[in-house]
Structure 1
Amino acid sequence: MKILIGDDHHVVRRGLKMIILDAYPKAFIEEAAEGATLLQKLKLQKWDIIICDISMPGRSGLEIMQIIKEQAPKIPVLMLSMHPAEHYAIRALKLGAFGYITKESASDELIQAIKTINAGRKYITQDIANMLVDENEDLFADNQPHKQLSNREFDVMKMIAEGKKISDIANQLSLSINTISTYRTRILKKMKIDNNADLTKYALDKGII
């Protein structure tokens, strides 16, 4: 089995690798600390599974997954995140992810997720299945303004709501300050919110932060 792990934290990559090798001692595992490296390695091997962190430097994990689906649509991608499933799982699955697990639950769920994906099925926990049901119900109730945001806009919205400065967000996402300011304006307009304080209140009410 050939597995590519993308995460910007060495300790996380090492931990995931140890978990996998304990169950699959003969597995061939490569690592990537950033999106650009992951995409380069994508072209060098025929991978059985790609495990990709949502929060990668530069391009987000969701953007990386979109590129993977364009360049190698048959390779299943398991999304990994420090964020609870309700924040990103539905977005990841809509883009074609074969599963979503949190870093907190990786020690318990990673091998089961790999086995499920190897069997050609998506790894969807009961919690995520319930969220999918709720998502369909929300289509008929226009009460979730943040779901109108693109994946990048959602990332920026979350960071603004957490109180991060525009310059810090720009640095984290490898974008210009003007670009982040444009995103902020677009986000406030789409969500019909007037300022950062109200955005933070909304994010707290919805459990986004």
Structure 2
Amino acid sequence: MNGDVCETLQHDVAIRFFRTLADTATAMEARSPTPIPVMTSGPIRILVVDDHPVVRRGIRSCLQRQPGLVVVGEAADGKEALELIPAVQPDVVLTDLDMPRMDGLALTEAVRRQFPDVKVLILSMHANTEYILRILQSGARGYVSKEADPQELLQAIQAVYRGESFFSADVARLALQQMVLSEGAASAVPELTPRERQVLIGIAEGLSNKQIAERLGVGIRTVETHRQHIMEKLGIHTVAGLTRYAVAKGLVSAQHLPPQNHTATTS
């Protein structure tokens, strides 16, 4: 990914995020104490994905009581969900983030590629707002806390089914604050050149200087020079630190890192 593509992606994500805030505010203002009727030709078909059986059954029980919704299947992780989608044909995949084998973000990215008509809604306990931009980048249409009341979850399902975005008001507010803080912190960090970003991506992917040089069609000494400049600019002098930075900036996905670097991002 070159610098221009990365900057365009970040810009598009930011625009989408602020539009989502506006959509969420409107939805929250219009909230009614009684269920909102679902105006569809049939019930909204939902696939519930969570690695805890008790949680899945609780969600199913809650949703099945709502008019216009039907739970067509359950899955314990992303891989199982991908196998079920062709058979159960859901309109909305309601998924947790932390799951074995394939987590919610990786599932969302796979659904976007393989089943573009299926909408994904994240339902999680995560309060860490750094996930919000990653969720938007993955292609998810919304994020609702597991602590939300059933009415809010119903509104979120209806919104994403219509092709809109929906974020819980508290999550959207915290994410906005995080974005403002991140922008302020980023302004103090020297900008990497497009070539330096390419080298950083290679480092995060676990490539050697020789492999990065072959990929970019440059000499090994050139890669070594870029590597040194990157470390000096960012004030980061370990591969683990550079990898975490690359993931945080959206240059690489944690799901696509080699095992040793993936571990480094979560340490």
Under TM normalisation by the shorter chain, which class is it? 0.5 to 0.7
Q: Say if 2:77 and 2:100, in contact at 8 Å, map to a contact too.
A: yes
User: C-alpha separation between the residues in 2 aligned to 1:22 and 1:92?
Assistant: 28
Aligned to 2:106: 63
Whether the 8 Å CA contact 2:77–2:103 is kept in 1: the answer is no
Are residues 107 and 52 of structure 1, via their aligned partners in 2, closer, same or farther at CA, if it must alter by over 3 Å? same
Structure 2 alignment gaps of length 5 or more:
1-43, 190-244
Q: For structure 1, which segment, 4-13 or 22-31, has the greater mean C-alpha deviation from structure 2 after superposition?
A: 22-31
Give the structure 1 partner of residue 205 of structure 2. none
Structure 1 stretches lacking a partner, 5+ long: 157-178, 189-195, 197-209
Q: Which residue of 1 aligns with 2:75?
A: 32
TM-score (norm 1): 0.66
- Match for residue 66 of structure 2? 23
How has the CA–CA distance of structure 1 residues 113 and 85 changed in structure 2, closer, same or farther, with 3 Å as cutoff?
farther
Structure 2 counterpart of 1:51, one-letter code: L
Q: Does 1:82 align with 2:125?
A: yes
Change (3 A) 1:85 1:76: farther
Relative to structure 1, is the Cα distance of residues 94 and 127 closer, same or farther in structure 2, using a 3 angstrom cutoff? farther
Aligned-partner Cα distance in 2 for 1:126–1:104 = 12
Of 87, 94, 100, the match for 2:143 = 100
Q: Which residue of 2 aligns with 1:110?
A: 153
* SS class of match (1:5): strand
- In the TM superposition, what is the alpha-carbon distance from 1:16 to its structure 2 partner? 0.7
Percent same amino acid among aligned pairs?
A: 29
SS at match of 1:97: coil
Contact 2:48–2:71, Cα closer than 8 Å, also in 1 = no
Larger Rg: 2
Equivalent residue number for residue 182 of structure 2: 138
Kindly indicate whether the alpha-carbon contact (under 8 Å) linking 1:85 and 1:102 is maintained by their aligned counterparts in 2.
no
For 1:136 and 1:61, locate their aligned partners in 2 and report how far apart those are by CA, in whole Å.
26
Which of 55, 63, 70 in structure 2 is aligned with 1:12?
Answer: 55
Give the counterpart of 1:119 among 162, 168, 190. Answer: 162
TM-score (norm 2): 0.53
Aligned length: 164
Equivalence for 2:21: none
CA contact under 8 A between 1:52 and 1:79: conserved in structure 2? Answer: yes
Name the stretch that deviates more: 138-147 or 7-16. Answer: 138-147
